[in-house]
Amino acid sequence: MTDGGQSSQLAALEKVLLDETADPVNLPFSLLSSITGNFSEAQEIGRGGYGAVYRGVLPSGRTVAVKQLFERYEILDKNFESEVTCLAGVKHKNTVRFLGYCSETQQVLMPYDGKRVLADVRHRLLCFEYMPRGCLADYLSVFADASCRLQWTTHYQIIKGICEGVHYLHQQRIIHVDLKPQNVLLDDNMVPRIADFGLSRRLSGSQSRAITDHKLGTILHQNFVQGIYGTRIPN
């Protein structure tokens, strides 16, 4: 991409970041690589089962979060498109704002059978607003220092915000089956933002419940409840 092309894409990302009503934009891999220091360890801020999250610093000094999905997971184009569409439609004060996405295939020389061959490497990334106060899990840990201990009023506002965010998602017919303290991020004002819709399920109009082939969602929900209250609620 030319310098002029990257500058225009950076300007588009800055615009989306500043305008909460703006739609997410398609971002080139080269730009996301550039703002994350080529996905350097120094800028990695989190890692999960599906990908790693990096701090992306824009020329203006503003910060975004870039999630790079692991290549080892084969994700069909239609599934990625469905996820992007789902994320783009979620706009609420208690959900992390989706800023942009990338889906590119590059041909890269790689060793194979004693030779170097051209191989297709697929890059899929998601860009979100950056939450400076970390995740809720940091404040619930028994090892948290005094600076991380919250007042009851803050606890109440966080719980209330999570409930409002989940209620909004359900109104959009979206079930977040990976809801846990690590996926509740906090902004500068300690307002909770629900994140990571990698395991979300969108219901059709005729469905009243989500049916999955495993109990992952139930287990994660139990862990979330246990993390907040310290005890597991029996079935």
The CATH number of residue 42's host domain is 3.30.200.20
Catalytic residues: 178
**Has residue 235 been placed in a domain?**
no
Q: Please give the tally of structural domains in the chain.
A: 2
180/78 same-domain check:
no
On the question of pLDDT at 63 being above 60, the answer is yes
**Has residue 117 been placed in a domain?**
yes
For residue 221 the two structure tokens come to 């929900």
178/225 same-domain check:
yes
What does pTM read for this prediction? Answer: 0.78
Backbone conformation region of residue 136, classed left if phi is above 0, alpha if psi is from -120 to 50, else beta: alpha
On the question of pLDDT at 4 being above 90, the answer is no
For residue 156 the two structure tokens come to 């109440």
- So what's the pLDDT on residue 32? 97
Phi, psi (deg, nearest 5) at residue 137:
-60, -35
Mean pLDDT value of segment 43-47? 91
Mean pLDDT value of segment 25-49? 93
CATH of the domain at 214: 1.10.510.10
Tell the residue number behind the tokens 């109990």, with chain if given. 215
Domain termination residue (choose one: 80, 113, 129): 129
**Has residue 234 been placed in a domain?**
no
Domain termination residue (choose one: 129, 149, 168): 129
111/162 same-domain check:
no
27/93 same-domain check:
yes
Helix intervals (H) in 61-215: 77-88, 137-140, 152-171
97/186 same-domain check:
no
Domain termination residue (choose one: 97, 129, 161): 129
Tell the residue number behind the tokens 């994350």, with chain if given. 36
For 85-109, what is each residue's pLDDT tens digit?
Answer: 889 999 999 999 999 999 998 777 8
| Residue 215 among known ligand-binding residues | no
21/122 same-domain check:
yes
Q: Which of 45, 50, 101 is nearest to 216 (CA)?
A: 50
115/147 same-domain check:
no
Determine how β-strand 192-194 pairs with β-strand 44-47: unpaired
For 149-189, what is each residue's pLDDT tens digit?
Answer: 788 899 999 999 999 999 999 998 888 888 999 999 999 99
92/149 same-domain check:
no
Range of the domain at 209: 137-229
